[in-house]
Structure 1
Amino acid sequence: MTDSGTPRARAADKRRRLTTAAARVLHEQGVERTTLADIARVADVPVGNVYYYFKTKDDLVRAALSEHSEHLGELTRQLDELPDPVDRLKALIEAWVGQRDIAARYGCPTGTLAVELDKRADGALDMEAGAVIRQLLDWAGHQFRALGLPDSADLAVTLVSAYQGMSLLANALRDPDIMTREGTRLLRWLDSLDTGPRPGRPGTP
Structure 2
Amino acid sequence: MLSIVSWVTNSAKPRARAADKRRRLTTEAARLLHERGVERTRLADVAQAADVPLGNVYYYFKTKDELVLAALSEHSAHLDELTCRLDQLPDPRDRLKALVEAWVDQREVAARHGCPTGTLAVELDKRADGTLDAEAGAVIRRLLEWAGQQFRALGLPGPDDLALTLVAAYQGMSLLANALRDPDIMARQGAGLLRWLDSLGAPDESA
Which TM class, normalised by the smaller chain length? over 0.9
Q: Determine the structure 1 residue equivalent to 2:74.
A: 67
- Match of 2:89, SS state, is coil
Q: 1:101 aligns with which of 104, 108, 124?
A: 108
Instruction: List per-residue Cα deviations over 1:130-181 (Å, max 9, x = no partner).
Output: 0000000000000000010111000000000000000000000000000000
Q: Highest Rg: 1 or 2?
A: 2
- Name the TM-score, length of structure 2 as normaliser: 0.92
The yes-or-no answer on 1:153 pairing with 2:160 is yes
- Name the TM-score, length of structure 1 as normaliser: 0.93
- Match of 1:81, SS state, is coil
Q: Determine the structure 1 residue equivalent to 2:197.
A: 190
Q: Distance in 1 between matches of 2:34 and 2:9?
A: 33
- Match of 1:7, SS state, is helix
Q: 1:52 aligns with which of 49, 52, 59?
A: 59
Q: Distance in 2 between matches of 1:130 and 1:159?
A: 16
Q: Distance in 2 between matches of 1:38 and 1:122?
A: 23
Q: Distance in 2 between matches of 1:194 and 1:95?
A: 23
Q: Determine the structure 2 residue equivalent to 1:33.
A: 40
Q: Determine the structure 2 residue equivalent to 1:200.
A: none
Q: Distance in 2 between matches of 1:176 and 1:7?
A: 44
- Match of 1:17, SS state, is helix
Q: For residue 171 of structure 1, what is the amino acid of its counterpart? A: N
Q: Distance in 2 between matches of 1:194 and 1:127?
A: 34
Structure 1 runs not aligned, ≥5 long = 197-205
Task: List, as ranges, runs of 4+ consecutive aligned residues in structure 1 with deviation greater than 3 Å.
Answer: 1-5
Instruction: List per-residue Cα deviations over 1:7-31 (Å, max 9, x = no partner).
Output: 1111111000000011000000000
1:3 to partner: Cα distance: 5.0
Q: Distance in 2 between matches of 1:138 and 1:63?
A: 22
Q: Indicate the percent of aligned positions where both proteins have the same amino acid.
A: 78
Structure 2 runs not aligned, ≥5 long = none
Give the paired residue count. 196
